[in-house]
């Protein structure tokens, strides 16, 4: 059983673990448990797996009616999680983070079923820190995680990523054709995540004329929340070098096309970009628990493996930072080489091996 979700950063690693397990154990059954109304309820079935949903939700930062409902939703989710576990009778339960993983792993631990926590970030979340106390194994993506978890139960596996980005060689020409890009121009790839990032979009709006004037083209994923607004403003600009997308499914081709990449610093993005091995400018979101995106990014910046642009300074500073990299081939090559050294390409299989040991 695999539980968690809420964002692509939780869902895609979970699916990667499931795929790796299924490859080694094709006769086994896998059941996902997610949160009702969250994106895992769509993405997991699309990947070919069964999923059950719990009514669990997170606490809002401000005082709202939803917060008053929280304890009732949590109790209901604990009851339902216990029943799902009893009915499915899993040999092991993997929690990848997100609202649903708390009730499910808690219920599994109370029943004596071995659990594994997969912590994607460099700064552990509260739920995972609590669950890890009774987990048999904690798989992490960054060193020095014994600040949060018992050292004797940590496995440094890395974050599982999609298989199609493990080898981008020979894909550049196909990528340029697919996205309608000019082979004679350098390409900036801008990634704000599946939902989008307001700061990255505003930074693009502020500097897209400068980027065009500098001779660059942009492949821009703006997110579904912002697509119509960005489309209207881009169309009004008349720029043809800016290629706007609500969401990019063919991420292997997007990575292959990019010469420089601008991205948020969510755990999955950072792990994928380390495998891609191209120069990256991280603009961490400040609107996340414990500012963990900045901590994710700094784990790479401190190894001279990426550049950092603070969210508060991004609007108006993007083009200058991009041009710095585009024109400095030595720096670009160094960043790409250094970030690839930090990659963990076999993370999904490593986690599968940890699960196998739990149920051996």
pLDDT value of position 62:
61
8 is in an annotated binding site: yes
pLDDT value of position 346:
95
268 is in an annotated binding site: yes
Q: What is the CA radius of gyration of the chain?
A: 21
User: Per the structure block, which two tokens stand in for 262?
Assistant: 């601008």
pLDDT value of position 242:
98
pLDDT value of position 71:
83
215 is in an annotated binding site: no
pLDDT value of position 58:
66
271 is in an annotated binding site: yes
Q: If we measure between CA atoms, which residue out of 255, 240, 122, 257 comes closest to residue 186? A: 257
248 is in an annotated binding site: yes
350 is in an annotated binding site: no
Mean pLDDT for each consecutive 10-residue tract of the chain (360 residues)? Answer: 88 94 97 95 96 83 68 92 98 93 97 97 89 97 94 97 87 97 98 87 98 98 95 97 95 97 94 96 90 94 97 97 97 98 96 96
CATH architecture group of domain 2-159+345-359: 3-Layer(aba) Sandwich (3.40)
pLDDT value of position 193:
75
58 is in an annotated binding site: no
219 is in an annotated binding site: no
Domain with CATH 3.40.50.2000 in the chain: 2-159+345-359, 164-341
With 0-12 / 13-18 / 19 or more C-beta atoms within 10 angstroms meaning exposed / middle / buried, residue 41 is middle
Beta bridge partners of 207: none
pLDDT value of position 196:
84
Selecting from 2.160.20.10, 3.40.1110.10, 3.40.50.2000, 3.60.20.10, what CATH number does the domain 164-341 have?
Answer: 3.40.50.2000
pLDDT value of position 69:
79
245 is in an annotated binding site: no
């Amino acid at each position: 059983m695999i539980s968690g979700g809420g964002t692509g950063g939780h869902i895609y690693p979970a699916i990667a673990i499931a795929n790796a397990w299924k490859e080694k154990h094709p006769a086994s059954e896998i059941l996902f448990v997610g949160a009702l109304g969250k994106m895992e309820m769509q993405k997991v079935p699309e990947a070919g797996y069964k999923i059950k949903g719990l009514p669990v939700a997170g606490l809002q930062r401000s005082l709202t009616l939803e917060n008053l409902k929280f304890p009732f939703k949590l109790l209901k989710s604990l009851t339902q999680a216990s029943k799902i576990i009893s009915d499915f009778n899993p040999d092991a339960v993997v929690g990848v983070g997100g609202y649903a993983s708390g009730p499910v792993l808690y219920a599994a631990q109370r029943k004596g079923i071995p659990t594994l926590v997969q912590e994607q970030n460099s700064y552990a979340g509260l739920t995972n820190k609590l669950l890890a106390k009774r987990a048999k194994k904690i798989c992490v993506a960054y060193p020095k995680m014994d600040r949060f978890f018992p050292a004797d139960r940590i496995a440094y596996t890395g974050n599982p990523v999609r298989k199609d980005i493990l080898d981008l060689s020979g894909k550049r020409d196909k990528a340029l054709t697919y996205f309608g890009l000019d082979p004679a121009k350098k390409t900036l790839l801008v990634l704000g995540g599946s939902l989008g990032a307001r700061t990255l979009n505003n930074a693009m709006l502020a500097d897209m004329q400068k980027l065009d004037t500098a001779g660059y083209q942009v492949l821009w994923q703006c997110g579904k929340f912002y697509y119509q607004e960005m489309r209207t403003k881009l169309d009004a600009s008349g720029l043809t070098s800016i290629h706007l997308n609500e969401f990019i499914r063919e991420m292997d081709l997007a990575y292959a096309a990019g010469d420089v990449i601008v991205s948020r610093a969510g755990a999955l993005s950072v792990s994928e970009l380390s495998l891609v091995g191209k120069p990256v400018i991280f603009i961490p979101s400040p609107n996340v628990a414990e500012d963990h995106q900045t901590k994710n990014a700094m784990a790479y910046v401190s190894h001279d493996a990426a550049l950092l642009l603070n969210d508060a300074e991004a609007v108006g500073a993007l083009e200058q930072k991009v041009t710095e990299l585009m024109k400095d081939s030595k720096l670009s090559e160094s960043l790409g080489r250094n970030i690839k050294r930090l990659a963990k390409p076999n993370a999904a299989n490593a986690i599968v091996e940890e699960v196998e040991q739990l149920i051996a």
